Amino acid sequence: MKPSIRILLLAALCLLVSSAISQNNKSKAGETEIKALYDRWAKAFEARDLDGIMTLYAPGDEVVAYDISPPLQYRGKEAYRKHYSDFLSLFDGPLHVEFRDMRVVSSGDVGFLYALERVSGKMKNGQSMDMWLRATSGVQKINGKWLIVHDHISVPTDFDTGKSLLTLQP
């Protein structure tokens, strides 16, 4: 083998190995960044900061959300923003959010996460809300920034009574 070919092969091997290591590091970095995205979401949500929340979502029609209240789906960021606004205006003062059993999985510029999520707060009608939800999100790195493109929030259904199970605890 010619020395130049040997060097070429060695360089190619180095590139492949460093590419594999970099992929793995990127996955871990991605998971840390996605976790930070959710810390920012929780902070903005607790402060009932609608603009702060919405900067964490992808623009335009990318966002599709299945929320705990109807309809079946919210399509597009504007529809979801309106829904967030209606929800946040029910409350008096800050909300509180607690995550349990959160798992974040990512590779390249795509990730998803899921967690049990406790939401509590004092409502303007005098009632208190304190509920454990199931939360799943799909995220994408768009122009170098992780953004939420999909949310799915729910509680289970009791098929004997047709009721939503709003008081379950993990």
Task: Tell me the HSE value of 27 on the side-chain side, using a 13 A CA sphere.
Answer: 9
Residue 71, judged by CB atoms within 10 A of its CB (0-12, 13-18, 19+), counts as exposed
Closer Cβ to its own copies, 43 or 120, answer by number:
120
Q: What's the farthest any 2 CA atoms get from each other in the chain?
A: 83
Strands 110-123 and 128-142: antiparallel
Q: Which residues bind its own copies (CB under 8 A)?
A: 3-4, 7-8, 11-12, 15-16, 19, 23, 27, 64, 66-73, 101, 103, 105-112, 114, 116, 132, 134, 136, 138, 140, 149-150, 152, 154-159, 162-166, 168-170
> What's the min distance (Å) between Cβ of 75 and its own copies?
8
Which CB sits closer to its own copies, 66 or 99?
A: 66
Q: Would you say 43 or 124 has its CB closer to its own copies?
A: 124
Strand order in the sheet with 145-154: 74-75, 64-66, 145-154, 128-142, 110-123, 91-107
Q: Shortest gap between Cβ of 21 and its own copies (angstroms)?
A: 13
Is the CB of 42 or the CB of 140 nearer to its own copies?
140
